Amino acid sequence: MAHAVIDLVALHRTFTALREFVSAEPELAAFHDAAVELELQAARLASGARDLPRLAETPDRRIANRTHAARIVQIMNGAPPLDGTESEELRHALAMLFGNLVLGITHPILRDHAELMWSS
């Protein structure tokens, strides 16, 4: 039985938009490498890869500008939803990608601007 899947091309576009935003903002320079790696991992998923490396956590980074944090949340809110029928292998790969997103970029938002993550 074939599995319907999340739109991986649209997911890659979301991570490209994230990388473009982070790269354009000098205040977010500490997040540039993580944004580039996340974009590459999303591209690999879209190309059929399912084995993604874990990013190193860097807990000392901060996103001091609430506007920048809000824009990152807005970009990531554009990610396509899971439809619930993805294969186990793809679910694990997506879990790694989104876990890496937390490790590389959104952890400081959760720590310093949590209200942005939980508002609708």
pLDDT, tens digit, 9 for 90 and up, residues 57-102: 777 889 989 999 999 999 999 999 988 888 999 999 999 999 999 9
In a domain, 97, yes or no: yes
Tokens of 93: 């790969």
In a domain, 69, yes or no: yes
Handedness of CA 62, 115, 67, 105 (dihedral sign): positive
Range of the domain at 86: 8-118
Integer Cα distance of 68 and 76 in angstroms: 13
In a domain, 2, yes or no: no
Report the domain count for the chain: 1
Q: What is the pLDDT of residue 1?
A: 40
Q: What is the pTM of this model?
A: 0.90
In a domain, 27, yes or no: yes
In a domain, 99, yes or no: yes
Mean of per-residue pLDDT scores for the chain: 91
Q: How far is CA 1 from the centre of its chain?
A: 29
In a domain, 15, yes or no: yes
Least confident of 16-20, 81-85, 104-108: 81-85
